[in-house]
Amino acid sequence: MQALAADSHSPVKIILAMAFVVACWGYSPTGIHIGLQAYDPVHLALLRFLLASVFMAVVAVFRGIHLPTLRDLPLMFALGFFAVSLHHVAINFGQQGVSAGASSVLAQSTPLFSTLLARFVFKDRVSLWRWGCVFLGLIGVVIVVAGDHGLGSIDAHGLLILLAALSWSIYFALQKHHARRYDGLTLVCYTVWAGTALLLIYLPGLVDQVLSAPVHVQLAVVSLGVFPSALAYLAWAYVLAHVDLSRATMTLYLVPPMAMAIASFALGERPTLMIVVGGLVVLVSVLALNLERRGGGGQAASG
């Protein structure tokens, strides 16, 4: 992250960067809903990250990045699979049956899954406090899903959003345990490019959908590719170059309210009281989880 850390420390710049990240990732669920009007989930994910890959390539040319070693290529593709391919395909399929507001809340459950991974995969000790946070967060998830369409209509769509959150947790764990040899910009670029390469299996049929999509859908997809998928990650890397991770991630609790506000304006969605209550329960559980391990840092949400 040296290239991004070279800028002089400016509280105003950091606050603006944080606000930009919240706005970009808050827009993402709405952009996906609009994109799904003309694209199927896999083609939407591919087009979004083809655009992001081109943008990141331009940034890489001007900023400069390190070449990965051959032995790290499997790691780069693993990061790309969990952060881009699986994560965004699951979100796109999930949002076919989940509102933008509910989706943004469910996506914030990533730290809950990280705690489960820490215990059952990495064999870390998990305190009673953290187990309590996980239990509370899962209650919030059930409330959100029930409040979106009712308990009787719970189907696989909400589970797919949770799968996306789990995928992001695995990405974060791999990044934390194996990718310290690379700066933030280099890692983001290769993660996006590797994930996009894996999505190329869905290339057949993409051109037809691009040619038939309405202009307002095209603009939404271009915005998805440039803002949440590229610029927001660069802004987040800038923030992390100057602010402790555990403090910076507190800002991300503003993403679901921002997502609900944007969806209300752009899609006419009105979150039910149960979604709001369930969202608060999820965010409180994640906040309590991060406060308990303040020294260990937190996690970035996905866009």
Tokens encoding 300:
């970035």
Please report which confidence band the pLDDT of residue 11 belongs to, taking 50, 70 and 90 as the band edges.
confident
Q: What are the backbone angles phi and psi of residue 126, rounded to the nearest 5°?
A: -120, 125
Question: How far, CA to CA in Å, does 19 sit from each of 60, 221, 222, 235, 303?
Answer: 24, 21, 20, 10, 14
Q: What percent of the chain has pLDDT over 70?
A: 89
pLDDT band at 94 (very low <50, low <70, confident <90, very high): very high
Whether this prediction's pTM lies above 0.75 is answered by yes
Instruction: Identify the band that residue 116 occupies on the pLDDT scale cut at 50, 70 and 90.
Output: confident
Amino acid symbol at 175: Q
What integer pLDDT is reported at residue 155 of this predicted model? 65
Q: Which residues contact 173 (CB under 8 A, 6 or more apart)?
A: 114, 117, 118, 121, 122
The whole-angstrom separation of Cα 8 and Cα 3 is: 12
pLDDT at 2: 40
Domain ranges (residues) in the chain: 2-296
pLDDT band at 243 (very low <50, low <70, confident <90, very high): confident
Is 90:164 a contact under the CB 8 Å cutoff? yes
pLDDT exceeds 50 at position 262: yes
pLDDT tens readout for residues 118-144: 777 777 787 888 888 888 988 988 888
pLDDT above 80 for 5: no
Helix count and strand count (H, E) for the chain: 16, 0
Query: Per residue in 288-301, pLDDT tens?
Result: 877 765 544 445 55
Least confident of 26-40, 79-93, 122-136, 148-162: 148-162
Query: What is the predicted pLDDT for the residue at 245?
Result: 63
pLDDT, tens digit (0-9, with 9 covering 90-100), for 172-223: 888 877 777 888 788 889 999 999 999 999 999 999 999 999 999 999 999 9
Residue 201 has a pLDDT of 98
Tokens of 121: 């995969």
What residue type is 118 in one-letter code? A
Among candidates 272, 259, 301, 267, which has minimal Cα distance to 104? 259
* The total number of residues written for the chain in this structure: 303
Rg (alpha carbons) of the chain, rounded to whole number? 18
pLDDT of residue 166: 92
Q: Tens of pLDDT along 12-37?
A: 888 899 899 999 999 999 999 999 99
Q: Give the type of residue at 9.
A: H
